[in-house]
Structure 1
Amino acid sequence: MNRFIVEHQFLLRFALLQVFAGISVGVAKLTTSLFAVSLQSSPAELGIIAAAQSAGILVMSLPMGVLVDQFGPHRLFITGSLLAACVYAVIGWATGPLLLALCTFLISFCMPFRFVSMNAVFMHQLTRVGLGKAGWFRATHMIGMFLLGPFIAIACLEAFDVKATYLLVSMAFLLTALMAPSVMRVYRPLTQHTEEKFSLREWGNQFLLMKENHELRTISLIEFSSQAVMQFYSFFIVVIAISAYGFSAAAAAGLVTLQGAVFVALLFGWGLLVSRVGIAMSYRLAFVLIAISLLLLGTGGGTWTLWLAAGTLGIGMGVLQVVNIGRFAVIGSVLGRGRIAGVNAFVGPAGGLFGGIAGGALGHLFGLQVLFLLFLPIFMFFIWDQFRKPLVAEAELQPSEETQMEAGG
């Protein structure tokens, strides 16, 4: 046991940080959803709050991709954690939906400091452990965010109140700031990117990467679309289950937890099967399962369809994340991990912002549930495109001598 701990001490520390970071975000997200409902938010106001969770992330992710190589991920992670903790300490005193949205908007500017740093460290280590572990780092974060976070949020809200729950979230962010240095100091940027300073030109160059690299452009579009669905589901399914199906808050949170639990299981397990199933077949399977779940969620056949769709969506998203994470890491090993971590952190929240805006802008016209069908044509296109021209890996992720020495040191 001691030998295992010594040999895998980085992975264990990283996993622990990821779990705590995930719990803090998971508790905050569900608390915000339920707080918004308690403030009697309209569908439009719910959409504003959901979109506010992604707005600052959209602005800050690409700059962080450059800054993480310049200042190091641990400094940025600590800064973002401290700033977010300050806002979470006061958000519980919001007196209306728009004030809640403003606080959420401010917090969204802090998040890229944390997860771009985590993404860069993750990509750095993935070149050492190989593609089979592609989902493991993300899975540990999701355990906290989707599996433990919702249950802890419900327990805190039942035992305390919204203000106290947000104060606990603030303390959790402070705890992750203390944990970060021992985990993130292993990061070493590619030499050619250490002297780059952030500028408007560098910001534009990251967009240029997507334009010039076909695979990066394709997987970025996939990431955008999948995160739009995830954001819409994780925020609005609680509202839909409570208002349309009479779920209790705990039961509605269970839909988020089920989807998250299945998602995490696939993140841990599918990496072991990718080499046998193949990249192209994994993408096809993921797109088909996501399309089925969207159809179930959008047609509203009954409460059982919500539970079935939650599990199906978790499987599809888990398979998709494993292969997409691996492809981002491969490209990052060539073009710069910080820069690709920034691109990855940009396109996902951009999709999340789209999901929130779609719910807020169209929910009052058509109803929230039917909007799941809005995403269906996108994934039908992905299915068609994968059969027409499969996305096949051009290079596999192999451990390098450099990363092995860095990890060992």
Structure 2
Amino acid sequence: MADNVRELRKSPEASEQRESTTVVVVGAGPAGLTVANLLRRSGIDCVVLERRSREYVAQRQRAGIVETRAVRMFDSWGLADRVLGGVPYDGILEFRVDGERHLVTDDDGSEGPSARLCPQQVLVQKLTAAYLADGGDLRFEAADVSLHDLAGDRPTVRYRTADGTLRAISCAFVAGCDGDHGISRAAVPDGVLTAHAFDHGIGWLTVLADAPPPAHPLLAVSPQGFAAHFPRGPHTSRYYLQCPPDDQPDAWSDSRVWDALRARLGDPALTPGPITDREIFRLRSLVHDPMQYGRLFLVGDAAHIVSPMGGKGMNLALYDADLLARAVRDFVSDHDETGLRTYSQRCLRRVWNDQEFSHWLTRTLHDAGDDTHTGPFHRSLARARLDRLFTSPAAARGFAELMTGPDLAE
């Protein structure tokens, strides 16, 4: 299909510049940029709108592992070498229980590229570069974005440019990729979506520091509570500490952070470094059903939030993006509406599968440590689950499949 064809003209009704495209993508995070890149690969024109600046989006720190299934998805589109930075991930995850080390692999025995340690900002930077290099239309600092006529054949997306110009884009589809607090889901009429929400009652202090990364992603259980240590670059680490969900970041001085990490990670010699960022967030899960309304399709965090345990959030977004791009391609090239009609059903099957795995891992690693809230019975159950993971080959294979991202039969 030809590149974006737009008819710019003044609308006397709103003094706005009007144009047309096939897909408007709202949001330039991993979900939106993946949708856009896959559409470009399919010869389908689209416009990406992002309310933040390019500099802000490129530096946003988030998840760090692109799971095996997602790597193979990019590879199938011929994009893996272009958009996946970081280093190959050896698939080894370290569990440390009361200081005792246990190594578990996510190698499920399948052939093909493996997971990669790729911080979100690196993925976003490379997706942005690939999209622009292929002639993509990416507009940062798009303010006051609003969605109209989503139930009709030609929705309209309105926004204001950085210089104050009003624009209106007519399109066939809108991809809502602007996260949990974006305007896409808010544009769906009340009563259309059912929200399934769960608060785990757990808080995490997350700390970014200029400190040596671990040899393997590390999850630790101790009577003092859960802790984790993940690489975020050759000289940068992300740490997590279980805390009350209503705790405050300023209650955690640098010395308190490092003392808690040494105790919970079972590493008295842990090397500290300058802390560059810290915040506290609640572990929660959320699923909106369905993930589509009219010509609007919700992608990633706009449709679902998953507890960060297991690293499924960004990877679910990439899965959604792949399904949506293929569905739009089938409709445009073959007038086949099957993918569009079943988009929500197919996405939600994996969403609930990953929600269950994440919930299982969250409860296991938190219940196995500090039993103040769960009690000794649940603590013993969680410890038994960990023992089974470390000693049963069948349990280890099941864990590896879920970490890798199983290919669910359609």
TM-score between the two structures when normalised by the length of structure 1? 0.27
TM-score between the two structures when normalised by the length of structure 2? 0.27
Q: Looking at both structures, which has the greater relative contact order when contacts are Cα pairs under 8 Å and sequence separation is at least 6?
A: 1
Higher percent of residues as strand: 2
Higher percent of residues as helix: 1
